[in-house]
Structure 1
Amino acid sequence: MTAIEGHTPTLDPEEARRLRQERLERIGRWLLPLAIMILAIWLWDRVCVWNDIPKYILPRPGVVLQTLHDDAGLLFSSLLVTLRITFLSLALAVVGGVGLAVLFAQSKWVEMSFFPFAIVLQVTPIVAIFPLINIYVDNQTTKLLLCAWIVAFFPILSNTTLGLNSVDRNLRDLFKLNGATQWQQLRYLRLPAAMPYFLGGLKIAGGLSLIGAVVAEFVAGATGQSSGLASRIIEAGYRLNAPRLFAALILISLIGILIFLVLSLISHLILRRWHESALKQER
């Protein structure tokens, strides 16, 4: 064995420092939020104990967890109702937003004609639109679905339209020089280029669809056994059942976080091999 073969390569101090920093960042990305969350829950519990706060005003975390266990049947059945509205509205927002964005990309006249109406839907509060929906729509589920769709629709439309219009002009000219039709440009150039923008809008719309579903239940005043989590919050508030109210809020928050994480994972898996934003995460 030669001296060169037996030599173990060593990292220079700068490279070693960079690797340590990356390792600490990977650990801290999960450890720090977890530590802060545990500290916040502990402080919540201590504040209740130190100030002798009754549970109908501010329940202790243990009481909320016990309520979540005891009322699991009621709360999780309502959760399924809310999730159904959330995912249906998100699916409709994706289909409608992408479809309309493609039409906008194919014709500037269509974009100039209809985009202002999309903006009007976005900037008008849903609580102001709902009375009209309540007049013209009889089915309760359809009312909730329409409200949630209005909230989730615009981020998909706006981001996808921006992506389709952000194609490199030189690449577009190259496609035209090679005789590509508009639909060929759309399929092989503009849609792939718009994918990061669409996925960014999807992550936004995922959270907004959940918010829209919950807000729609609030403004609709939905009640009954087949109602969503918002109705459980309203009911618990009227009955001063703070533990159930907090349990429903925790479920909504956890589902919102889960939706964001799943959509972020989907975005990363799609973009990781070719887009710069995902390639940076791979390094």
Structure 2
Amino acid sequence: MDNTTTATQALRAGRATPGSIAPGEEPGPHDGSGSGGPGSQSATTSATAAATTTTTARRSRPRLSADGPLVSIGGPLVVLAMVLGVWYFISYVVLEPSRRFLMPAPHVVITEGFMGDNLPAMLDALERTTVVALTGLAIAFVIGVVWAILMSQETWAERSLFPYAVVLQCIPILALVPLIGFWFGFGFTARVFVCVLIALFPIVSNTLFGLKSVDPGLRRLFRLHHAGRLTVLRKLEAPAALPALFEGLRVAAGLSVVGAIVGDFFFKQGDPGIGILIDTYRARLQSPELFASILLASLLGVAVFLAFGLLSRKVVGRWYNAEDQR
């Protein structure tokens, strides 16, 4: 009687008591549908094992690493193949033979531009442009870091000096060409000055951001130990600003190459750079040589950008890489 009452109450509650028999039900083998029987435990164990196996299999599937050679090399090669295909299509399908000089095929650029008699002159001009770009970058680095340090020490200094950095970034170089020519002549010094103007702002802004992004708790800790400004700058702010500083330096390195080439167009006295050769080939309508010199200048910019990116990873380390922080 007690068993029947207990089973009836369990059924009314919406669940059956394990091992109980309802009225009128014949006893038989347990089907394992209950929550506490041996069959239920076996099914639960099997389901857990299957889920664990599936999760392990999913985790063990190989993934393409963002830093792997297949992604870092294969991706640019695929894009390069697409660009060459579009280039050939425009040269041989879109353009008529009489107008093909506007965009010669890539193999024509290589054979007539790089492998002709103009290659030594291109390499000499590229060397001079590299010297101008690196000289301007070095000067911009020194000025930019000192400028950012001065602004990071006091709020009033940042409010007073940072607007002028923005002004230098916004003024067109063409508007300053006459003044630069009057002040520095039309040779090497004027080209370096153009590089400094173009490459200065990324260094100033990134260095200032790095110096101001120090954890306030660490600042309070240094203040608690009565550390002076020079100690805080040398042991706390400067190490914290290195990642942002090198990011700005990498951007400024590419811009310095642009500044050196732009300076060649306006200041043509002295030894010619790659920009002067580009202007000369344009005036002579020498399309293969023109495209070859443009490609050479582009390769210089990419090489400088990658070189400073490698330098930043060697000096600072990979701990600041955004991909490693995910």
Q: Which residue does the alignment assign to 2:60?
A: 16
Structure 2 counterpart of 1:247, one-letter code: A
The AA in structure 2 aligned to 1:40 is V
Residue of structure 2 in register with 1:171 after alignment: 218
CA shift in 2, pair 1:128/1:30, >3 Å: same
Equivalent residues in 2 for 1:94-105, closer than 5 Å: 94-105=141-152
Deviations 1:208-266 (A, max 9, x none): 1111111122233x267x21111111111111001111001100111111111111111
Q: Which amino acid aligns with 1:68?
A: F
From 233, 239, 247, give the equivalent of 2:278: 233
Structure 1 stretches of 5 or more lacking a match?
1-10
Q: Does 1:35 align with 2:78?
A: yes
Confirm or deny: 8 A CA contact 1:58 1:242 kept in the other structure: yes
- 2:120 matched to 1:73? yes
Contact kept, 8 Å, 2:66 with 2:72, in 1: the verdict is no
In 2, distance between residues paired with 1:161 and 1:147? 22
Quote the Cα distance in structure 1 between the aligned partners of 2:109 and 2:319.
45
Q: CA offsets per residue over residues 116-149 of structure 1, 9 Å max, x none?
A: 2221111101111111111222251111100110
Instruction: Provide Cα deviations, 1:54-85, integer angstroms capped at 9, x if missing partner.
Output: 55322121121122121111101110111111
Report how far residue 278 of structure 1 moved.
6.7
Partners in 2 of 1:166 and 1:23 — Cα distance? 28
Provide the aligned C-alpha RMSD in A. Answer: 2.4
Q: Give the match for residue 262 of structure 2.
A: 215
Query: Which structure 2 residues correspond to residues 14-163 of structure 1 after superposition, within 5 A?
Result: 14-17=58-61, 19-22=62-65, 26-50=69-93, 51-52=96-97, 54-66=99-111, 67-70=113-116, 71-138=118-185, 140-163=187-210
Going from structure 1 to structure 2, the CA distance change for 1:32 and 1:274 (only over 3 Å counts) comes to closer
Distance 1:59 1:276, change over 3 A: closer
Counterpart of 1:254 (choices 294, 299, 309) is 299
Check the 8 A contact 2:109/2:289 in 1, yes or no.
yes
Following superposition, the deviation at residue 21 of structure 1 comes to: 3.3
CA distance in 1, matches of 2:119, 2:269: 18
SS in 2 for 1:56: helix
Paired residues for 1:177-192 under 5 Å = 177-192=224-239
Question: TM-score when scaled to structure 2?
Answer: 0.76
Equivalents in 2 of 1:239, 1:39: separation in Å? 30
Equivalenced residues, count = 270
**How far off its partner does 1:102 sit?**
1.3
Shift of 1:46: 4.2
Distance 2:264 2:308 in 1: 24
Aligned to 1:4: none
* Residue 249 to residue 106, structure 1, CA distance change in 2 (3 Å): same
Question: Residue 245 of structure 2 is aligned with which of 195, 198, 211?
Answer: 198
How many Å apart are 1:155 and its aligned residue? 0.6
Contact conserved, 2:184 with 2:190, CA < 8 A, in 1?
yes
> In structure 1, what residue type is equivalent to 2:200?
F
- Please, which moves more after superposition, 41-50 or 180-189? 41-50
Q: CA deviation at 1:273?
A: 5.3
Within 2, Cα distance between the matches of 1:24 and 1:198?
23
Q: Indicate the structure whose relative CO is greater, using CA pairs within 8 Å and at least 6 residues apart.
A: 1
Say whether 1:264 aligns with 2:309. yes
How far 1:203 sits from its partner (Å)?
Answer: 1.2
Gaps of 5+ in 2: 1-54
Q: Distance in 2 between matches of 1:186 and 1:87?
A: 27
Provide the rounded CA distance (Å) in 2 between the counterparts of 1:241 and 1:116.
44
Whichever of the two has the greater Rg, that structure is 2
The TM-score with structure 1 as length reference comes to 0.87
Kindly state the Cα deviation for residue 25 of structure 1 after the two structures are TM-superposed.
6.2
Q: Post-superposition, which runs of at least 4 consecutive aligned residues in structure 1 deviate over 6 A?
A: none
C-alpha separation between the residues in 1 aligned to 2:231 and 2:69?
42
Q: Provide the rounded CA distance (Å) in 1 between the counterparts of 2:67 and 2:137.
A: 37
| Paired letter, 1:245 | L
> Partner of 2:127: helix, strand, or coil?
helix
